[in-house]
Homo-oligomer: A and B are copies of this chain.
Amino acid sequence: MAVTAVETSALLAAARRQPVPHTPVWFMRQAGRYLPEYRAVRERHTLLEICATPELAAEVTLQPVRRLGVDAAILFADILLPLVPMGLDLAFVNGEGPVIRNPVRGAADVAHLAPVDVRDALAPVLETVRRVRRQLDDDTPLIGFAGAPFTVACYAIEGGSSRHFVTAKRLMYEAPATWHELMRRLVTVLGDYLAAQVEAGAQALQLFDSWAGALSPDDYSRYVAPYSRQLFDRLRSLGVPLIHFGVETGSLLELMRDAGGDVIGVDWRIPLDAARARIGVHHAVQGNLDPVALFAPLAELRGKVRDVLRRAGDDAGHIFNLGHGVLPATPVDHVRAVVDLVHELTA
């Protein structure tokens, strides 16, 4: 099954820098609030209910594939799910995003984190992967994903979203042994989780290090890169393309590339031609339209899409995406117009 998909999927070919029928396009958070059919599901179910119910999670995973004609599905799940079987008490508070009621603040908290049997503890996610795969055609691969150890650690320590990451960075600076132990444990759980997703049918994996851009390059090298590298080293043997994504990574591109991944995600702050020059010819790139560009009038939006494609160049190895996730109020017809334009201009 995987072999067929490799041969006919534009996304998998681009990730391997092979010739493509057209530039593949998908969107981070393509399953989300901007879609009326997603909002209809969310009216009846919480986010965690959807994640825990394979039928619902598969449905919302497939919604954007049907609606938009994108070249990949991405598993619907929350990046904090693996923290729950580790013993963290995760909830979503209306308007505030994720809240962890017992955040990790010291060595004892790390020591008490439970080992995780992902096949048992995250069974609904894996069942979602299997269900989605059965419903996708061979041209449309399913991307599995997890948060990168750093970004997941930040949530675990801060207890939710953060603006300055003071608590996480303090732990890093004040208790480096505790930090390193937490990262080691996350590498194990996240590696098991991603391997299980591939076993269940995921055909590519994206690691979201969404918050890596909060770090100086030196801190990234010391406290983060070794663990991202351990994780990528393990994932390489799974045989699927690996996408390494971050935001505000203008100074981290080379370090993230060296940590691992076949495809490096680039946000809109870095022109894609400059990013490709820095990342080099042995990696593909993914990006990099500003999510807010989707709100622009269609003529302006089309100009911005053309600019991304022009900067991506004629070489193989470009996956069109946003530089970050689709925002909740995004007009659906504009998202669809981008898919069509990318396909039309590159076919």
Contacts and interface: CB of A to CB of B under 8 A. Distances in A.
Given A164-B291, A166-B329, 17 more contacts: A166-B292, A166-B295, A166-B327, A169-B290, A173-B293, A173-B297, A174-B297, A213-B269, A216-B271, A218-B271, A218-B304, A218-B307, A248-B248, A250-B270, A251-B270, A251-B271, A251-B274
A74 B173 CA distance: 30
A268 interface: yes
B173 A295 contact: yes
Interface in A326-340: 327, 329
A89 interface: no
28 contacts: A164-B292, A165-B292, A169-B290, A169-B293, A170-B292, A170-B295, A170-B296, A173-B293, A173-B295, A174-B296, A213-B248, A213-B269, A216-B268, A216-B269, A216-B271, A217-B269, A217-B271, A218-B271, A218-B304, A219-B290, A248-B248, A248-B269, A250-B250, A250-B251, A250-B269, A250-B270, A251-B269, A252-B269
Interface in A295-346: 295-297, 300, 304, 307, 327, 329
A267 to B, nearest CB: 9
Interface of A: 164-166, 169-170, 173-174, 213, 215-219, 248, 250-252, 268-271, 274, 290-293, 295-297, 300, 304, 307, 327, 329
Contacts of A170: 292, 295-296
Contacts of A329: 166
A327 B163 CA distance: 11
Contacts of A251: 250, 269-271, 274
Contacts of A250: 248, 250-251, 269-270
Contacts of A216: 268-269, 271, 290
B248 A296 contact: no
Contacts of A295: 166, 169-170, 173
Contacts of A165: 292
Contacts of A293: 169, 173
Contacts of A219: 290
Contacts of A217: 269, 271
A215 to B, nearest CB: 8
Contacts of A252: 269
A274 B269 CA distance: 17
Contacts of A300: 173
